[in-house]
Amino acid sequence: MSSRVASAQAAIAALRGLLARAGTVSSLLAVQDQINAEEANLEALLSQQRALSHATSYGTVSVLLVSRRPPPAGHPVKITGGFAGGLAAGWHALRQLASWLLTGIGAVLPFTAFVAAAIFLGFRGRRWLARRRSGPAQPAD
């Protein structure tokens, strides 16, 4: 758009140069009519440029963010009747119990190392204090 405006301005400048060199009244009027037409074209281009600039400056952008649904947490256990249903329910309960027990052991295990070290140091310190209070052993005669 700006290149069209620049070329229209250059055309008007060239026509004004011709206007200064026109010798007859009819050529003056023809050049003046051409200048008026080019100026009207230039005004239309500038108006269009302002409108487009305004439209792009204040344009509204709408964004719709869509996320995927999370996968289901687990497969539900379908329990049927009879021996096979009871066996499936028992197996599911055993797996659930093992999961809870292993989770509990995993949660307690880091603390057991500190507790064991504290108990060991407590017994060693108690033996050391007991030897120190009893004093040095007397040599036998």
Run of H or E residues at 52: helix 25-57
Convert the pLDDT of each residue in 45-85 to its tens digit. Answer: 888 888 888 888 777 788 888 888 877 777 665 667 788 88
Distance CA 118, CA 112 (A): 10
Run of H or E residues at 83: helix 82-134
Convert the pLDDT of each residue in 90-127 to its tens digit. Answer: 999 999 999 999 999 999 988 998 999 999 999 999 99
Output the six-digit token pair for 79.
Answer: 């329990």
Segments making up each domain of the chain, as ranges: 2-57, 82-141
39 CB neighbour count, 10 Å cutoff: 15
Convert the pLDDT of each residue in 15-44 to its tens digit. Answer: 777 777 777 778 778 888 888 888 898 888
Model pLDDT, residue 56: 80
Model pLDDT, residue 15: 79
Whether the per-residue pLDDT at 138 is higher than 70: the answer is: no
